[in-house]
């Protein structure tokens, strides 16, 4: 991390962008779950744009360390309230990453068509949201709990594997966090780069190019 004044200011924008995109991401989960018939998130105050309700301490710290990997507090969902539990649970999970890509596309439009009229500070904020939202959307599509991709995965598994899948969702988070920490603090020193960071940067470049091209 750059501890110069400019570096600290940019880091501050990164934190603000993270809070903004995480809030948007988690609120999208809550909204889609409620729309599909599950009021659990709404009853627990998660159908909200209040960032405090959505921030996950571990996920936020990991993002601030890696500046590319992170997650919010999982939105509570009760699949029993859905008409089609497996499908609707997957759609609820998918809502988060989709919201991130839509938010990034909106920021790309503002950047391209209004960037020349914006104050440099505001333009930097728009750019930060654009990039952070892409990172968040891509990362959450990986099929590891507690990420959204792990819930989307259930849509493609045969029913005979659903019991093992539920165990995977329940117990897999601690292993995933351990893998992330090993990747960031050990592998990066051994091989010179983070594997997750490399994959995320590669996918980010592809998605950002597509979104900017689409504007």
Catalytically active residues are 26
The closest of 24, 30, 50, 8 to 129, measured between CA atoms, is 24
- 177 contact partners, CB below 8 Å, separation of at least 6: 58, 62
Alpha-carbon gap, residue 69 to 132, rounded angstroms:
9
Alpha-carbon gap, residue 15 to 13, rounded angstroms:
5
Alpha-carbon gap, residue 139 to 204, rounded angstroms:
10
Alpha-carbon gap, residue 49 to 20, rounded angstroms:
9
CA angle 202, 14, 12 (to 5 degrees): 155
Q: What is the token pair recorded at 181?
A: 């920490």
- 195 contact partners, CB below 8 Å, separation of at least 6: 183, 187
DSSP 201: H
């Amino acid at each position: 991390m750059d501890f110069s004044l400019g570096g600290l200011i940019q880091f501050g924008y990164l934190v603000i962008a993270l809070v903004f995109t995480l809030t948007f991401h988690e609120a999208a989960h809550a909204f889609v779950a409620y729309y599909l018939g599950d009021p659990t998130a709404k009853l627990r105050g998660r159908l909200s744009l209040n960032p405090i309700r959505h921030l996950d301490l571990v996920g936020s710290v990991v993002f601030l360390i890696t500046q590319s990997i992170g997650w919010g507090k999982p939105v509570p969902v009760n699949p029993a309230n859905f008409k089609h539990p497996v499908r609707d649970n997957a759609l609820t999970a998918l809502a988060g990453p989709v919201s991130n890509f839509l938010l990034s596309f909106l920021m790309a439009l503002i950047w391209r068509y209004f960037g020349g009229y914006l104050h440099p500070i505001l333009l930097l904020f728009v750019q930060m949201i654009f990039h952070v939202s892409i990172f968040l959307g891509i990362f959450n599509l990986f099929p590891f709990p507690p990420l959204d991709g792990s819930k989307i995965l259930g849509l493609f598994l045969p029913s005979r594997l659903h019991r093992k899948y539920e165990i995977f969702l329940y117990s897999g988070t601690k292993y995933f966090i351990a893998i992330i920490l090993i990747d960031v603090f050990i592998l990066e020193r051994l091989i010179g780069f983070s594997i997750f960071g490399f994959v995320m940067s590669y996918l980010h470049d592809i998605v950002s190019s597509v979104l900017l091209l689409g504007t």
